Amino acid sequence: MNSEPHLNAETFSWQPNAKLLSLVLLMMPLLISLGYWQLDRAQEKREILAEFKANQESQPVAFELLDPSVNLQYRQVQFVGELDASRRVLLDNRVRNGRPGYEIFEVLTIASSELKILVNRGWVQASLDRNQLPEIESVNGKVLLRGSLYKVLRGGLQLDDGVRAVENWPGRVGWISTERAAEIFADEFFAYQLRLDSDSVGALTTGWPTVSVQPEKHTAYAVQWFVMALVLLLLTINANSNLKAWFKFKMSKTESEAL
């Protein structure tokens, strides 16, 4: 094999670099798999947005009319019951418009049953003094609450906030779900939490993004990974052959024959 294939530009030839090829064989599947992973994420977000649109366009229903066999994510509902302000949960580190704050959770007992529902009343700004918790006006008596159902989406990383049990209410936690609410309150909870609408009784500052990253952005990320894989392939071919010199020779030969 010619030790310097670039010196012979008339024919295309290889001079493989074993170490470089080994690195490429490791990197290429990784880049391609990352691209397909982003495509899967894009499809997942499309399905979430489709569910959101379909359930948001439905008429609000009472708890008794819900069909637990179907996906109720983002379903519009109206529940009658009483909120328990004595055991309030503050979800920490919720930032809106650059301001730190809390999302306020309380437990709703449905009037027609003893089942508990975790209610997200919305966001409030936090004090600069971490020891000073926000003052929240309580909702007393039996009320009609309107909003949409929500279940924490799969994926993501939940950091341990160190809270095992709440001894002094209100309790401040780093994350919350219906499963964790069942542990904190030692009671049975409905599988979905209720996020209040802005015009509902008890609503604070409401409004939540449906997805944090839009499908189009995931698709763009996928294209970037695939382009990186293609560039790596071209660079590998160039580094292990006389491709550049051979291509220049072919171009110059074509030009001279055209004259």
Mean pLDDT value of segment 190-200:
93
Q: Calculate mean pLDDT across residues 198-214.
A: 81
Task: Tally the residues of the chain.
Answer: 259
Which pLDDT value is given to residue 61?
85
Largest CA distance in the chain: 94
pLDDT score for 2: 46
What the block records as the tokens of 32 is 């391609």
Each residue's pLDDT tens digit, 110-133: 987 778 999 999 999 998 888 899
- Can you give the residue ranges of every domain in the chain? 10-39+215-258, 75-196
Q: What is the DSSP letter of 65?
A: G
The mean pLDDT of 47-61, rounded to a whole number, is 75
73 token code pair: 């994510």
Q: Which residues of 67-98 are buried (b: 16+ CB within 10 A; e: fewer)?
A: eeeeebbbbbbbbebbbbbeebbbbbebeeee
Quick check: 3 pLDDT over 60?
Answer: no
* pLDDT for position 67: 83
> Distance between CA atoms of 213 and 63, rounded to whole angstroms?
31
What's the chain's average pLDDT?
83
d(CA 147, CA 77): 6
For 152-194, the pLDDT digits (tens) are 866 555 666 667 677 788 989 988 889 888 888 888 899 999 9
Cα gap 26→50, rounded to integer Å? 37
CA 117 – CA 83 distance, rounded (Å): 9
Q: What is the pLDDT of residue 216?
A: 82
Question: Residue 41: is its pLDDT beyond 50?
Answer: yes
Res. 215 pLDDT band, cuts 50 70 90? confident
Give the model's confidence band at 5: pLDDT under 50 very low, under 70 low, under 90 confident, else very high. very low
Residue type for 51, please?
E
Torsions phi, psi of 159, nearest 5? Answer: -80, 145
Query: What do you get for the CA distance between the two ends of the chain, in Å?
Result: 35
